[in-house]
Structure formats: C-alpha cells, structure tokens
Amino acid sequence: MSGQEFLEQSLAKTFLRRLAKKFATELEIETVGQLLRHFPRRYEERGELTPLDSLAEGEYVTVQAEILRAKIFETRARKKLMKVQVTDGRRTMSMTLFNAQPYWLKSWMVPGRRGYFTGKVNRYGKNLELLHPHTDFEDEPKEVKGGLIPIYPAASGLTSRKIQTAIEGVLALAPPLPEPLPDSVIEEFHLVPFHRALRLIHNPSSRADVEIARKRFKWEEAFLLQATFAQRRHQAQADPATPRPRRSGGLLEAFDQRCPFPLTEGQQEIGDLLAEELAQPHPMNRLLQGEVGSGKTVVALRAMLTVLDTGGQAAMLAPTEVLAYQHARSLRQLLGPLAGAGELGGAERATSVVVLTGSQSPAQRRKALAAIADGSAGIAVGTHALLEEGVQFRDLGLVVVDEQHRFGVEQRDTLRAKGANPHVLVLTATPIPRTVAITVFGDLEVSSLTELPAGRSPIDTRVVPVVDHPKWMARVWQRVREEVEAGHQVYIVCPLISADDKPGPENIQNDEKPKSRYAVLNLLPELEGGALFGLRLAALHGRMGADEKDAVMSAFARGQVDVLIATTVIEVGVDVANATGMVVLDADRFGISQLHQLRGRVGRGSAASICLLVTSEAAASPARRRLEAVASTADGFELAELDLAERREGDVLGTVQAGRKRSLRFLELRRDADLIRAARERAFRLVGSDPELHRHPVLAQALRFTLEEKAVYLEKA
Ligand code: ADP
Ligand code: MG
C-alpha cells in the first residue's frame, strides 16, 4: 500500500474498526490521515498535575490529578453514588461516579494516588466537576515512551489514552508517508519531513521535539494556504473576462463633470489603477481598504460607471439592508440626474440604481429582478439576496463587495458565477494588518486610501467613566442636547435591543460581565420623557423591517430626527454629514476596531465632532485601557494592530472573515508574521513556475483536499 493510500484508508477498514464509528461521530475523524492529524492539545510530564483552574465548563478533558478522598453515598432512590475529591496541589475539584461499588474505594480511589480522569466539565453550584469520568491510573502498567504524555482533545467514549493508543498503532503500521512540502522549502528552512513530524508531535521525548514538529506544521499550514491563493490568482489571470476600457462621452465623464468635490490624490490614483485593470481581458480582484470616511464609495462608483459605459452592469453587495438602502441612496445622490433613466428630469444618457433585498414585497422584487435581467438597471445594490438563484443579470461586469469581512470567498464565487467572470472590487473600512490581509485575502491585490478628504475636522473622543463620576451621565445627555441645539444630530449606541433580550449577534454581551443596562427600546422612552425631553428621537435596530429601518434612516438623513438610538446596525457605511455627536453606552462591550468603526459615523462633515465612550469599568482595568487607546488615536491601522495583539486569534479572523475560523491550527498571526510572509513568497514562486503543480503531485493532492474539506465545512455551517 502506498503512503497516500494508507492515509486515505477508512478507519473502519483498519484494526480500529470497532472505534471507527465513535471517531466519526464524536471527532469527525474518518480516515487514517485525519486521525494522524488529530494533534495533542497539550503535553504533560509524567506525574505533573493538570492545573484545575485551566478547565472550562462544557469542555471534554483528561485531567491528571491526585485523589484527596472518596466516599460512597446512597441516594433516596437507593442508588449508590461516589463522590471523589481530587487536587492539583492547589485547588480541588469533585467528581461524581454512578453505580459505585464498595471495592472501588479500596482498590482504586485511594487517597494520594494519581490518576487520569476523562469527562465533561460541568458546573455544580459555584464549582466545576467531572460527571462520571473515565478513570485511568498512571501506576497501572501502560508503556509511555519518552518523557511527555500527549493529551488529546477527547470525547465521550474516546479518552485521551485511547486516542493515543490508536495513533501509536497506526504510526507503527505506516509505510513511508508522502511529503506535501517541496524539498526546497524543507531544506531552506530546516524542517522535518511530514512522517517524522508526526512521530515527534504524537510521541515526543522532550518539549524540543514538539517545537520541531510544530514549526513544520506551521510551515505546512502557511504554505498550503498561500499555494491555494497563488493558484486562485493564477486561475484568475488565466480566466477570460470582458475588458471594460474607459470610453469618452459616457457616464463617467458626465459624473466627473458634476462631482461636487475634487477627488483626493489617492482616489484619483486608485481610480486610474482600477481603470487599467478593468481594461484587461482577465478579471480584476482587488481589495480597497480605506479609513472610514476616506471616500471609497466614489472610487467604486467611478469604476462602476466605467463598466456601464461599455454596456455592462455593476452589482454592489452590502452586509445589511440598512446599508444596501443607504448605498443606493448615496449612489443616486452622487449621480443625480444620471441615475434618473426613464424619469422626468433624468439625463439623456442616464442609468438607474435598483435595490434587491430579502424582505421586499413580491411586487418590488419582481420589478427589481426584471430591471436587472433586461439591463435597464445599470447598478443593482443588495444584500445576500443578490446572490440567490433566480437573480439574472443581462451583462454583469463588476461586483463591488462592501465591507468584505461579512462575506466569504465562497459568496464571492457564487456571485462571480452570475456573470462571465466579472471584475471584483472589495471595499473595507476595517484597516487590516498586513499579516491578516495576506492570510485571509491572500488572493486579492490590496490598495489603500490613506488620506481623508480635505476639510474634515478631527473627532474629539473621550472616555466617560461613570463609576468614578456618576453625575457625568447627566452631563453626557446635556452634551447631546447642546449638539442638537447647535443644529446637529447625534447617535446613541446601545449594546442591547431590549432589556429582556438574550445576547445575540447584534446584542453585544460579554459573558464575563453583568448584562448591559442599555437597551434601545428601553432607553428611548426613558430619554424621551427625561433627559432629552423635547428632542426628536428615533430607534434603529436589526429587528425592524427593512422598510421601517430605511424610513428611519432617511428621516435621520433628512434631519427630521435629532437623535438616533441604535444598536451596531449603524456600524458600517452609514453616512450623515450633519451628525456630529456619538455616545457609545457600555463602550467596553465593543471591540477596538468596532468602536473605531462606530466613531467613523461622525466627523463626516466640516463641523467639529465628539464621541463619548461611556463605561462603568474601573480605571485600571484592561477594558478601560482599550477605550483610552481608541480615544488617543484616530489611526485605524494602529488600532487594528492593537486589536490583533489583544484578541484571540479566532476572533480576529472571525471578524475579518466568517467561515475561516477553523483553518488555522498552528499559526499565530502575530508571532508568525515572518513565517507567513516567507511561505507566501515561496508558494507564489512555486506556483508561478509550475501552475498546475505537475511536478508536485503530493502538494496538488493536499490542496485539493483542503478545498474539499472547506466545502464540507461550509455546507455544515
Ligand atoms: P467611506 O470610505 O467610509 O465609504 P464615503 O465614500 O462614504 O467614505 O465618503 C464619506 C463622505 O465623504 C461622503 O459624504 C462623500 O461624498 C465624501 N467625499 C468623498 N470623497 C470626497 C472628496 N474627495 N472630497 C470631499 N468629500 C468627499
Ligand atoms: Mg462606505
């Protein structure tokens, strides 16, 4: 049997057949290869106890601990229960075993003895406990080679020990296993080959062994990811697309003549770059990042008009309905009569902008679909509804994705499939640290708009600590009133929609903290009848219908609402230049980048703006320090780096792009930045010289597998 065949074998066909079903259902492990890639979570020295305060409720764990005492109880139903107290030397934890037999006390649960206990961590009152754990004693004969004991992510019926034995058995039978990494990389970076790395990681004799293996798997992870990007890039270069060169005498020219402001240098330069790429016979794939308010919309619009001038259509994808309507509104406003096709007062060569969202009435939807299909709508703006089957464009030439971090690569592909390979422009206002950009958007070219349009005044951001100064809350509301009296408008952002709500995606809630006191639906009447009496208040949150939300946003944009009390639905893209005040309540519930985003809703006009971050966190807390950081700089890139340094890896990737969370097992974006860059360079070089990887069949196979695995994962999600 070849190494490849060995890895692809189903566990059911090996000596592990009896456990195959358990492995499949509990750990999603079906093949030998998958089992070998079930890596230890950590290692223990023989005799070293597991720190009990490291356990989390709900986790399946194997704990090495010392028995303090054990006792058998009889329940009212005459069942025998055994309570066992164990310790790590500092803390204690209890375990309950059912159907206890008196001889257990004598022969197993002897005080002072050390054992391995595997089970699910439950909460019992204030304490954690293991319920009926599987028990192994370390002084029972079990040969452990080397000095370290691997501890695997376990599951019901599959203890760490059982998994270890299974993996050892498989490794003992393995023929030479195929190597996905190219020799050149292995040599240059002194990596151990795959087969040896497996032995080291599953059966190390020292921590150094583990590190040697981890370095190799990090490389593998980075290299495979970058090779995938390199192939996608290569594929995109090879794919044909309709060239969309700039034409004179069209909509773009007409727009440039009526544009109310001069473009910034960056807007001009990136505009030219996009025009160049749109004129190519293969699809553009570009990410445009730029601070909130840097003017990405105009750049995108000019690219769309270039495409419209060649007879094509453009689609703009927004993450929420509010934003879809808002984009449509600002595009129409920028275009003026140029968007008035078929209307009285429309320009001669006008186009039209339609909206398509999930919650439109059937009639609205039919109308929008027809305009998209017959091409009379040059620009279609929508949410994921634009991705649905049944949406047919006449000639889709460009897809603009706003705020990419809410859309995955796969959605981009779906949309791409609706046109003959349309050009793709992704916009993001979340400044992305370079390492994250190449890890998550490695198949895109990246441009940045770094300057803000002239005439913006900076936002004065302040932390308002209401614990230390309870009276400051009154001052906050007075400040809101002053903004309104000066003719401006204010946003008030709450973590919750309603006070009785459970935390949800829009209801920001941090488990470690008591529930926020601030909820849109409760605060509105409170302020209306109190501190903000006499002002025109309105609520905006995700539970409102699309029409309702749009009506509120339009009223706010027209200045008919003074104060908008909202959840984070206003986070991205909302653009009302007259809004000069923002109050974020319980601001410590929000992430650094999120606060920066929120703050970007103000400071869009020439008037001075203020952003108040209200918190009841104590002065020395980490949460307070984060808020102070946001208050101290307006540089989104700096804040993004800080965010990356502060948060857990998965959270960062999760925000940037949903659905990729699981893919990084070894890499840490912060620590491994150099490695990731080096891997990218080598992977692109390799794919450049051998695009189909004919000379690297094992790598090619591994990449196909990565893609399949991801597809399965997405189906499940
Ligand atoms: P974002 O990059 O956050 O999407 P927008 O495209 O919404 O920013 O632009 C923010 C505001 O700045 C809009 O009102 C837009 O019309 C305006 N704007 C864009 N470019 C310029 C410019 N070059 N000069 C002045 N105002 C501009
Ligand atoms: Mg925008």
Q: pLDDT tens, 49-83?
A: 778 888 888 777 788 888 999 999 888 888 889 99
Place 149 in a pLDDT band, splitting at 50, 70 and 90: confident
Q: Is 431 in the pocket of ligand 1 (CB under 6 A)?
A: no
Ligand 1 pocket residue status of 604, Cβ below 6 Å: yes
Mean predicted confidence (pLDDT) in 155-178: 92
Instruction: Indicate whether residue 672 lines ligand 1 (CB < 6 A).
Output: no
Task: Please give the average per-residue pLDDT across 685-709, as a whole number.
Answer: 85
* pLDDT value of position 655: 46
Q: What is the pLDDT of residues 453-470, one digit of tens each?
A: 877 778 999 999 988 788
**Is residue 92 left, alpha or beta, with left meaning phi > 0 and alpha meaning psi from -120 to 50?**
beta
Listing DSSP states for 140-162 in one string gives S-----SSEEEE---BTTB-HHH
Q: Nearest 5°: phi and psi at 310?
A: -95, 10
> Which of the ligands is closest to the CA of residue 291?
1
Nearest to 541 by CA among 559, 557, 564: 564
Contact yes or no for 427/401 (Cβ under 8 A): yes
Mean local confidence (pLDDT), 571-580:
76
Mutate to test the pocket of ligand 1, among 269, 425, 575 (most ligand atoms within 8 A of CB): 575
Q: What's the whole-number mean pLDDT along residues 100-115?
A: 83
**Per-residue pLDDT band at 611 (split at 50, 70, 90):** very high
Reply yes or no on whether the pLDDT at 659 is more than 50: no
63 C-beta neighbours (distance < 10 Å), count: 25
Cβ-contact 376, 313 below 8 angstroms: no
**Helix residue ranges per DSSP H, 239-361:** 251-258, 265-278, 296-309, 321-335
Distance 322 CA to ligand 1 centre (A): 18
Q: Please give the average per-residue pLDDT across 561-581, as a whole number.
A: 85
Number of H helices, E strands in the chain: 24, 21
- pLDDT (0 to 100) of residue 251: 96
> What is the per-residue pLDDT for 713?
39
Nearest one of 635, 677, 590 to 431, comparing CA atoms: 635
Rg from Cα positions in the chain: 30
The residue whose CA has the least distance to atom 23 of ligand 1 is 263
* Close Cβ partners of 141 (under 8 Å, ≥ 6 residues apart): none
Beta carbons of 398 and 636 less than 8 angstroms apart: no
Task: Give the mean pLDDT of the chain.
Answer: 86
Kindly report the pTM of this predicted structure.
0.67
Rounded distance, CA 148 to CA 170, Å? Answer: 19
pLDDT for 510 equals 47
Grade residue 688 by pLDDT with cuts at 50, 70 and 90. very high
pLDDT at 411 (0 to 100): 66
- Report which bound ligand comes closest to the CA of 289: 1
Lowest-confidence pick of 285-299, 506-520, 581-595, 648-662:
648-662
Place 661 in a pLDDT band, splitting at 50, 70 and 90. Answer: very low
CB 261 less than 6 A from any atom of ligand 1:
yes
pLDDT for residue 437 = 77
Q: Give the atom of ligand 1 at the shortest distance from the alpha carbon of 292.
A: 3
Distance 267 CA to ligand 1 centre (A): 10
Residue 38, Cβ neighbours under 10 Å: how many? 18
Q: Which two tokens stand for residue 119?
A: 């089970």
Predicted confidence (pLDDT) at residue 10 exceeds the cutoff of 60: yes
Cβ–ligand 1 contact at 73 (below 6 Å): no
pLDDT at residue number 486: 95
Average pLDDT for residues 592-621, to the nearest whole number? 88
- Residue of minimum CA distance from atom 15 in ligand 1: 295
Question: What is the rounded CA–CA span in Å between residue 572 and residue 570?
Answer: 6
Poorest-pLDDT segment among 209-213, 338-342, 679-683: 338-342
Minimum CA distance residue for ligand 1 atom 5: 295
The β-bridge relationship of strands 396-402 and 127-131 is: unpaired
Q: Output phi, psi for 680, to 5 deg.
A: -60, -45
Main-chain dihedrals φ then ψ at residue 594, nearest 5 degrees: -65, -40
The yes-or-no verdict on residue 291 having pLDDT over 90 is: no
Band (pLDDT 50/70/90 cuts) for residue 348 is: confident
Give the least confident one: 318-327, 478-487, 638-647, 691-700.
638-647
Contact 271, 302 (CB under 8 A): yes
Describe the chain by its helix, strand, coil percentages, rounded to 5.
40, 20, 40
Q: Give the residue carrying structure tokens 């990729």.
A: 660
Q: What is the atom index within ligand 1 of the atom nearest the CA of 334?
A: 16
CA distance linking residue 572 with residue 291, whole number of Å: 11
Of 285-294, 537-546, 618-627, 630-639, give the range with the top mean pLDDT: 537-546
